[in-house]
Every structure is written in C-alpha cells, then in structure tokens.
C-alpha cells in the first residue's frame, strides 16, 4: 500500500512545482538589474510552494490512508460475511449429501435385495429345470440303451425297420390299398412284409397285382463303415463299403427270388432301407443301383424316396377311381336320358288325359247351367225338406264328431 501513496505524493509535488513556475512566469516581469534578489525571492517562493505541496501531500496521504482503512474494514466485513455464507453453504451441502447418501444407500440396499432375490429365484428355477432335464436325460439314456439293445438284436432290428415301413405305408395309403405278410408264391410259405394292392386285368376287376416291399437294415456293415470314416482309415472305409454293398446285393437277390412272381406280383419289388444315411451310402454307388434294377428288378428306396413313390401310387389310385366313377356317371347319365324320353311320353299322355277331363268338366258345367236355368221358375224348398225329398243325409251328419 506504500508505493501508490509515494507515487501519489511525488505526482502532487511535481504538479505544485509546475503550477508555481507557471504562476511565476505569468505574474512577474522579466528580472531587473538585481538578479541575486530575484534568486532569493524565487528560492523563498519555491520553499513555500514546497511546503504547501508537502502539506497537501500529507493531507492527501492521510485521506487515502483513511479511505484504504475504510475499504479494508469493508473488505473484512465482506470476507467475514462470505466466510459465514460459505460455511452455511458447506454445512447445507453436507446435510444434503448425507441425506442423498442415506437415500442412495437405502435404494441400493432395496434394489440389491430385490435383484439378489430375483437372481436366487431364477437360479433356483434353472436348477430345478436342470434337475428335471437330468431326469429326462437319464430316461433318454435308458431309452437309448434299450434302442441299442434292440438294434443289436437282428430279429428286433428287422422288426424295427418293419414297423417304420408300416408307419410310412399307414400315413400314405388307405388300409384297402396295401396288406401285410402277403403270400405271393402259392407253392411256398414265404411272406413279404408289405405289398401294395394294384388293379388287376380289365377282364377280371376283382383280381389284383401285388407290389412287394421288404425292409432291410444291415446295421453291422453300416456301423463298421461309420467307425472307419470317423477314424479316417481309407482302407477300412473301402472294405466296409464293399461289405455293405455285398450285403445289399444279397438282400436284393433274396427279395427277387422270394417275392417277384408275375403275374401274381409286379415284375419288380422295392427294397426299403431304414435310414437316409444308409440309403445315401448306397446311392454313392450308382452302378450298384442300376445293376440291382436290371439284374434283380429291385428298386432301392429310403424313407423319403418311398414316401414319394407311394405318393405317386396314391395319385394313380385316385386317377383310376376318378376314371371308374366317370364311367359309372356316364352309364347313369345314359340311363337317365333313356328314362327321360319315356318320361316325356308319359307327360304327353297325361296332358291328353287332362285335356279330355277339362272338356268333360266344361260340358258338365254347360249342362249344370242349363238345368239351373230351367229350375229358376220352380219353388225353392227349405234345406231340411229338400234333403227329405231327395233322401239325402243332413249337412254335417257325415262329418266326424
């Protein structure tokens, strides 16, 4: 605070000196013949001006000091007020923060308890689901074991393939369109598992031609092929594939020898392979499929292929039924046409009879009007007397009571 006051004092002194010089220059004439006297007078005036300037500076310094002290007191009061307000604001903020912290803690605690409860409930439900799934998996494992035992047994495996074939036939055809355990060769006791009933010759509509369908499932060769493929053994895959094809060829020859017997059956039969994988493996050898068709008249079919074949047969059956019904309808229409001609003759006869009856009724009306005209002059008798004279029963006497 001292430096601004000193600068202010020096400024005031310099201003006083400037004013003094200006006053001297303006109020005094040019110096006379005694310069010493003029110098003393000038020195005295400068001293008095300096004193006045010093006095003015002192007064100004005192005023500035008082102003600074007042400003300092005001600043102290403002600082105290601000400190107090800041403390109040801090205390209020601390209280609000404490309230917010308690609120947030309560919300977090409630939310955490709720979420933990929901999570534990969800985990409990999932554990129950997993427990039930484990039970189902155990049951499924038991069923898989049973299925494995079934597929290991040759007789049971054949029964399983036969059941699958029967399910497909049941879904695609009506019971009247196929039959099971059909004996095609009368001189043998061999019976094919299933046979589709096809229409017989036109001269014998009651007869039928059987389409034999026999199921095969060479599981051993198929499993050996799968194991060799999983192990990546090329030689084992080749050997297993050749063994599987030999088995399929043997089955085709067996079906041909036992069940293909025209005219009791068609000149071909269907060998049903129980799985699509097995059917696809046989199809990988196109020469085998064509050889079976040409040499043994055997058509190899998987579940999907058999369904397509049966669908075609069903459409043929429906077309045949439509043709038969159309022929029946034409015969009925011919009979109706013949009877309709006779019906026209009968209608003409009835019309003639109606014309004769109409003329008879008209003649009767003329006679009735002539009789009525002649009877107008006769005296009218009461109803009771007229009934007695004509010996007629009383009106209403013949009506039932």
pLDDT, position 155: 44
Q: What is the pLDDT of residue 193?
A: 85
* Three-class DSSP category at 205: coil
Rounded Cα distance between 252 and 254, Å, is 5
- Residue 240's Cβ-count burial label (10 Å; 0-12, 13-18, 19+) is buried
Dihedral-angle region of residue 179 (phi above 0 means left; psi in -120 to 50 means alpha; beta otherwise): beta
Q: List phi, psi (to 5°) of 301.
A: -145, 140
Answer whether the bond into residue 263 is a cis peptide, omega within 30°.
yes
- pLDDT given at position 157: 47
pLDDT value at position 93?
85
Q: Which residues of 84-93 are buried (b: 16+ CB within 10 A; e: fewer)?
A: eeeeeeeeee
CB 210 within 8 A of CB 264: yes
Nearest-5° Cα angle at 265, 263 to 268:
110
pTM reported for the whole predicted model = 0.44
Beta bridge partners of 178: 196
Task: Take residue 275 and report the two structure tokens written for it.
Answer: 């799985």
pLDDT number for residue 121: 82
Instruction: Classify 32 as helix, strand or coil.
Output: coil
Specify whether the CB–CB gap between 61 and 9 falls below 8 A. Answer: yes
pLDDT score, position 180:
85
> What pLDDT score was predicted for residue 401?
46
Give the residue from 327, 300, 155, 121 showing the smallest Cα distance to 213: 300
Contact residues for 263 (Cβ-Cβ < 8 A; gap 6+):
209
Cα torsion through 353, 356, 357, 361, rounded to 10: 170
For the chain, the domains span 2-22+40-105, 155-321
Measured CA to CA in angstroms, residue 223 lies from 235, 241, 277, 279, 341 at distances of 15, 10, 11, 14, 75
Q: Which residues of the chain have pLDDT under 50?
A: 1-2, 28-31, 149-157, 398-401
pLDDT tens-digit profile of 346-399? 777 877 888 888 888 877 777 777 767 666 665 666 677 666 766 666 555 544
**Per-residue b/e over 180-218, b at no fewer than 16 CB within 10 Å?**
eebebbeeeeeebbbbbbbeeeeeeeeebbbbbbbbbbb
Give me the phi and psi of 218, to 5 degrees please: -75, 80
């Amino acid at each position: 605070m001292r430096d601004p006051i000193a600068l202010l004092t020096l400024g005031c002194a310099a201003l006083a000196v400037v004013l003094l010089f200006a006053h001297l220059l303006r109020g005094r004439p040019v110096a006379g013949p005694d310069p010493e006297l003029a110098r003393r007078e000038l020195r005295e005036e400068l001293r008095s001006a300096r004193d006045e300037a010093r006095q003015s500076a002192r007064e100004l310094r005192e005023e500035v000091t008082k102003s600074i002290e007042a400003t300092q007191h005001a600043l102290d009061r403002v600082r105290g007020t601000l400190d107090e307000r800041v403390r109040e604001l801090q205390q209020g903020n601390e209280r609000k923060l404490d309230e917010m912290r308690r609120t947030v803690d309560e919300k977090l605690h409630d939310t955490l308890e709720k979420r933990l409860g929901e999570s534990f409930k969800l985990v409990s439900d999932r554990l129950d689901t997993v427990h039930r799934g484990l039970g189902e998996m155990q049951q499924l494992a038991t069923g898989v074991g049973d299925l494995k035992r079934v597929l290991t047994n040759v007789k049971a495996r054949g029964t399983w393939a036969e059941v699958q074939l029967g399910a497909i036939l049941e879904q695609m055809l009506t019971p009247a369109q196929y039959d099971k355990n059909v004996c095609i060769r009368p001189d043998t006791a061999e019976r094919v598992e299933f046979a589709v009933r096809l229409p017989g010759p036109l001269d014998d509509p009651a007869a039928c031609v059987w389409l034999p369908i026999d199921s095969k499932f060479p599981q051993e060769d198929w499993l050996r092929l799968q194991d060799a493929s999983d192990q990546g053994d090329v030689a084992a895959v080749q050997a297993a594939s050749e063994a599987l094809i030999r088995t399929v060829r043997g089955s085709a020859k067996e079906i041909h020898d036992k069940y293909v017997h025209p005219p009791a059956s068609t000149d071909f039969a269907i060998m049903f392979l129980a799985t699509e994988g097995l059917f696809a493996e046989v199809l990988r050898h196109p020469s085998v499929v064509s050889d079976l068709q040409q040499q043994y008249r055997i058509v190899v079919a998987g579940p999907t292929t058999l369904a397509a074949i049966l669908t075609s047969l069903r459409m043929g059956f429906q077309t045949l039924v439509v043709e038969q019904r159309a022929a029946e309808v034409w015969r009925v229409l011919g009979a109706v046409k013949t009877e309709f001609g006779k019906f026209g003759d009968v209608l003409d006869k009835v019309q003639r009879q109606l014309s004769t009856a109409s003329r008879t009724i008209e003649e009767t009306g003329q006679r009735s009007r002539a009789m009525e005209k002649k009877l107008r002059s006769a005296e009218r008798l009461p109803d009771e007397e007229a009934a007695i004279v004509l010996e007629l029963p009383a009106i209403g006497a013949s009506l039932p009571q």
